[in-house]
Chains A and B, each alone.
Chain A
Amino acid sequence: MAGNDQAEAREDLFAALVHRQSRFVFRVAFSVLRDPHDAEEVVQETFLRLYRSSAWTEMRDERAFLARAAWRIAIDRRPKNKPLETPAGLASNEPGPEATVLRAEQIAVVHRLIDGLPEELRQPLALSTVDELSSCEIAEIMGIAEGTVRTRLWRARQILKQKLEKYGH
């Protein structure tokens, strides 16, 4: 009976963890993969691996722990030879019928430019957009120094600005 109670309590704790963090894990995975179906697969795999190991019961910072796990799984799933995104319509000066449509187009262009960044720059930049992860958290997730994260973020932004200027935005 005590064993059953313990198992049920464990189940409840895990279910609570899933409800608390699955959306955050999804956003981390999506920032890497840019595909909602793949991102959900990563979420499920992350929690499945976590459940099978007993590591989740000893997590100190569950957010950082889950982000790191999901990021690694997503990186493994990401195609190695990702085709470079072509910023179609970037040079186009055609105004949209409405300002909102134009803005959406501009944002889509920037997304494609981010996708075209080298992975070492794109990943910290993408992670920085997830629930406003700090440089320290990104460094912990990626397993690199915090200073390196800051440098890469700065370089990524510089490249994006240069490209935007180059294409007339």
Chain B
Amino acid sequence: MSNIGTDGAPSRTPREDYRTPLKLARGLGSGKSGVSHWWTQRVTAVVLVVLVPWLVGLLVSLVGADLQSARLVIARPWNAIPLAAFVIAAFWHAKLGMQVVIEDYVHTRWIEITLQLLVIFACAIGALASLYALGHIAMLVATLTH
């Protein structure tokens, strides 16, 4: 780190510049993504505070239901739409949380990067599969009732 402060600026030798590395870095913002991780985690958390109790109630109401009646309930717009919102918020929130857990406990760089990629892919697939299934169920019920 002997050339701190040279990004885009004329190169200086340390002798010409007595400012500390901290002084040079201050005011430039985060080297990564700032507060967006923290903020997105909170936004999805607020969504989930609303949707989780609703989802638990919905799932409890489906105990003992057969395939067709479960599909009919899930396909109702005011169940399918919040369910879609839940799935997006939940897998996004899960990705952000798992990311921090991995950052904190996995200290071998290549394993960490591999796990981060797996978490991103898995959460994306989980959300996409759920959304596809919701759409599919809605279509099945729509063709049944028309």
Q: Do A and B come from one complex?
A: no
